[in-house]
A and B are shown apart, each in its own frame.
Chain A
């Protein structure tokens, strides 16, 4: 039984391993012991603090495999993407250049530095051991954060955002970086990404070009990479789009990976989440039912597992003693449950669907 819970200091070695193994290496999860130690301490503080509105709290979770007795995945929520400093993105914009005299109308695409996503809560720093990929644990780790936000809405912004790692070519090079950032930094992508993780990303952003970039002046390879996710993150992106996130006009300033956004009330897991009193039944006596994410009602001892969504006729959620114990709930206590399956996501993974497009009003 895999569980998602807040990270604790003993998770440090596991976090180091997960940071080092992330594909691609994540800016916001640097494989750097001191930084990871700080990350855990900061997260402990956030879980312990009384918070009335989102600030610079970072909540870091781990996915624990009790059979191995260690964390096998991690994910973070930043209550505000840019709380102390700005969160920089490039916003794709369209300018109309029209001349009546020449009877022409031309659309010119630009990328403009933006701080617009700074206010949103950011789901980030996701890394999972490869062997758990494609299992329900992958979705659990990704979306348990939504179950947490649903319980403590005052700690988070009304808009959630997620940035996906951008496209890298076969050689691990970012065509976008090579056409844009490299001119300004004279360093390759991996190097600057590592630096950005250890320092802050925003002070690097301050060296980025401050004026909008005209897309026609970028290389075709760079243009093709704009808003395109890393191949290893296609399924994750599809899942979050099925959740109700929308592609936005924003992309990462380094690799042009897509930034998706959602009003949290529109997400499937929020809309379908429901409180149920617990009824404990032996595992063998539980009826067959679709899988659900089930979370307890605790802050520092937050815990979320995948269990069957087996409801009694009177609306109680039937849990095995093992699940109940892991969640720390007794019979009669309430838990929050939401179906694990998402509309539009088939068994095989991604289904073709129109992900929609956030036209900027979010």
Chain B
């Protein structure tokens, strides 16, 4: 399994993959034209033919033995530059009066675009058959998630100060969002999935046009809706845990549709950005073909258009040399002497 930039020839596979994503996954609509444009934009981003603040780096996880796509993920160079990027900020207002012997704080939701200009890690999807369990697929999700930090560390000058990740919010058994039901549905003549789909298609101007501009006092929301604020979908918990381990924190920003949390950090503070380091590759035919223990070391190449990332079976030696098996070298498309960025994912940060 390896990570590489998406290519024009991936369109069919990407569309198949998009059909497997569900409600709440806005960035991969099942729309061939849209996906083709997305690929084209990603290709020009990796080739650095567009300014850094307009780039959407879209990666795929490839099963190089079968040629199938197992998953995908993305990094947005700077959000909110072409279309507005909205959040609710959960703020606290004090309502207090000495004469009334009253002191109460009220949570309020403020519509904002505070994250304009931040980088975003997004669109992570792993096909169910490539998840967990099977030894062969172990830590595929971690590969998709963590290789982005290596990419950002390697191309640090292309990214702004901060990075964020939007986490999927809470939905009930019927797939309804209580937060949307209580708030958004009053202002949008659409159901959640339509609104979500339009957002995914990048047609976000309707949000600014229809969304309430004044702060929302949360006591006016139903209890179910209030419970959604800053809470993630059950299936999103592992992803959130992984990001938290990297140092991303919830600072009170939530999705305006489902109330899910947005976590954020200064890129330089992200654990894997800090801990990853450059090493030199050396191909060693005696190195075992596959790691025989749980994947630990993550390796990424240093070219942008030819970016590759994969698990490798061992870490670098004291001299900063990392030995690769011939299979690993083939997967990463590197020869002896090439630079690699290596991360020990179990190192205490």
Indicate if the CB atoms of A218 and B220 lie closer than 8 Å. Answer: yes
Bound CA span A216–B99, Å: 32
Interface residues on A, range: 20 to 34
Given the interface contacts A97-B187, A102-B189, A106-B189, does A183 sit within 8 Å of B102 by beta carbon? no
Which residue of A is nearest B219, CB measured? A183
Indicate if the CB atoms of B100 and A207 lie closer than 8 Å. Answer: yes
Write the nearest CB–CB distance from A130 to chain B, whole angstroms.
33
Which residue of B is nearest A222, CB measured? B220
Candidate in B95, B106, B187 with the most chain A CB atoms within 10 angstroms? B95
Segment of A198-206, A231-239, A328-336 engaged in the interface with chain B: A198-206
Bound CA span A179–B182, Å: 15
Chain A CB within 8 A of B275 CB: no
Write the nearest CB–CB distance from B142 to chain A, whole angstroms.
39
Which residue of A is nearest B194, CB measured? A102
Indicate if the CB atoms of A97 and B219 lie closer than 8 Å. Answer: no
Q: Encode B205-240 as 1/0 by CB contact (under 8 A) with A.
A: 110011111111101110000000000000000000
Interface of chain A residues 70 through 129 with chain B (CB within 8 A): 95, 97-102, 104, 106, 108, 110
Bound CA span A300–B163, Å: 74
B214's partner among A101, A203, A211 (CB-CB below 8 A) is A211
Indicate if the CB atoms of A97 and B220 lie closer than 8 Å. Answer: no
Given the interface contacts A102-B189, A217-B220, does A184 sit within 8 Å of B95 by beta carbon? yes
Indicate if the CB atoms of A199 and B99 lie closer than 8 Å. Answer: yes
B102 to chain A: which residues have CB within 8 Å?
A: 185-186, 207
Indicate if the CB atoms of A214 and B95 lie closer than 8 Å. Answer: no
Chain A CB within 8 A of B183 CB: yes
Which residue of B is nearest A196, CB measured? B100
B interface secondary structure, majority:
mixed
Candidate in B106, B190, B211, B214 with the most chain A CB atoms within 10 angstroms? B214
Write the nearest CB–CB distance from A52 to chain B, whole angstroms.
34
Given the interface contacts A101-B205, A203-B99, does A106 sit within 8 Å of B210 by beta carbon? yes
Given the interface contacts A108-B212, A203-B97, does A183 sit within 8 Å of B220 by beta carbon? yes
Chain A CB within 8 A of B108 CB: yes
Interface of chain B residues 184 through 211 with chain A (CB within 8 A): 186-187, 189-190, 198, 203, 205-206, 209-211
Bound CA span A298–B198, Å: 72
Chain A CB within 8 A of B92 CB: no
A204 to chain B: which residues have CB within 8 Å?
A: 97, 100
B183 to chain A: which residues have CB within 8 Å?
A: 217
Which residue of B is nearest A200, CB measured? B99
Which residue of A is nearest B182, CB measured? A217
Bound CA span A97–B213, Å: 10
Q: Encode A207-239 as 1/0 by CB contact (under 8 A) with B.
A: 101011110111000000000000000000000
Chain B CB within 8 A of A195 CB: yes
Q: Encode B167-186 as 1/0 by CB contact (under 8 A) with A.
A: 00000000000000011001
Candidate in A101, A212, A213, A218 with the most chain B CB atoms within 10 angstroms? A101
Write the nearest CB–CB distance from A40 to chain B, whole angstroms.
24
Write the nearest CB–CB distance from A213 to chain B, whole angstroms.
7
B220 to chain A: which residues have CB within 8 Å?
A: 179, 183, 213-214, 217-218
Write the nearest CB–CB distance from A145 to chain B, whole angstroms.
31
Q: Encode B300-337 as 1/0 by CB contact (under 8 A) with A.
A: 00000000000000000000000000000000000000
Q: Encode B92-125 as 1/0 by CB contact (under 8 A) with A.
A: 0001110110101010100000000000000000
Q: Encode A297-308 as 1/0 by CB contact (under 8 A) with B.
A: 000000000000
Given the interface contacts A207-B100, A207-B102, does A183 sit within 8 Å of B187 by beta carbon? no
Indicate if the CB atoms of B186 and A214 lie closer than 8 Å. Answer: yes
Bound CA span A218–B221, Å: 9
Write the nearest CB–CB distance from B194 to chain A, whole angstroms.
9
Bound CA span A108–B190, Å: 15
A207 to chain B: which residues have CB within 8 Å?
A: 95-97, 100, 102
Which residue of A is nearest B96, CB measured? A207
Indicate if the CB atoms of A104 and B210 lie closer than 8 Å. Answer: yes
B100 to chain A: which residues have CB within 8 Å?
A: 185, 195, 204, 207
Indicate if the CB atoms of A206 and B209 lie closer than 8 Å. Answer: no
Indicate if the CB atoms of A217 and B216 lie closer than 8 Å. Answer: yes
B187's partner among A106, A186, A209 (CB-CB below 8 A) is A106
A183's partner among B99, B106, B186, B211 (CB-CB below 8 A) is B106
Which residue of A is nearest B189, CB measured? A104
Bound CA span A99–B199, Å: 14
Bound CA span A211–B96, Å: 16
Write the nearest CB–CB distance from A88 to chain B, whole angstroms.
14
Given the interface contacts A102-B206, A184-B95, does A214 sit within 8 Å of B108 by beta carbon? no
Write the nearest CB–CB distance from B325 to chain A, whole angstroms.
53
Candidate in B209, B216, B219 with the most chain A CB atoms within 10 angstroms? B209
B206 to chain A: which residues have CB within 8 Å?
A: 99, 101-102
Q: Encode B7-28 as 1/0 by CB contact (under 8 A) with A.
A: 0000000000000000000000
Indicate if the CB atoms of B186 and A216 lie closer than 8 Å. Answer: yes
Bound CA span A184–B97, Å: 11
Write the nearest CB–CB distance from B293 to chain A, whole angstroms.
53
Write the nearest CB–CB distance from B296 to chain A, whole angstroms.
48
Indicate if the CB atoms of B186 and A99 lie closer than 8 Å. Answer: no
Which residue of A is nearest B212, CB measured? A214
A95 to chain B: which residues have CB within 8 Å?
A: 213
Which residue of B is nearest A219, CB measured? B220
The 3 A-B pairs with the shortest beta carbon distances in the complex, nearest first, are A183-B219, A216-B186, A217-B220
If A101-B198, A102-B198 are given as contacts, then 5 extra A-B residue pairs at C-beta distance below 8 Å, sorted by A number, are A104-B210, A108-B187, A183-B217, A214-B220, A217-B186
18 sample A-B contacts, Cβ–Cβ < 8 Å, listed by A number = A97-B187, A97-B210, A99-B206, A100-B209, A101-B206, A102-B206, A102-B210, A183-B217, A183-B219, A185-B100, A185-B102, A186-B104, A199-B99, A207-B96, A207-B97, A209-B106, A214-B214, A217-B221
Interfacial residues, chain A to chain B (CB-CB below 8 A): 95, 97-102, 104, 106, 108, 110, 179, 183-186, 195, 199, 203-204, 206-207, 209, 211-214, 216-218
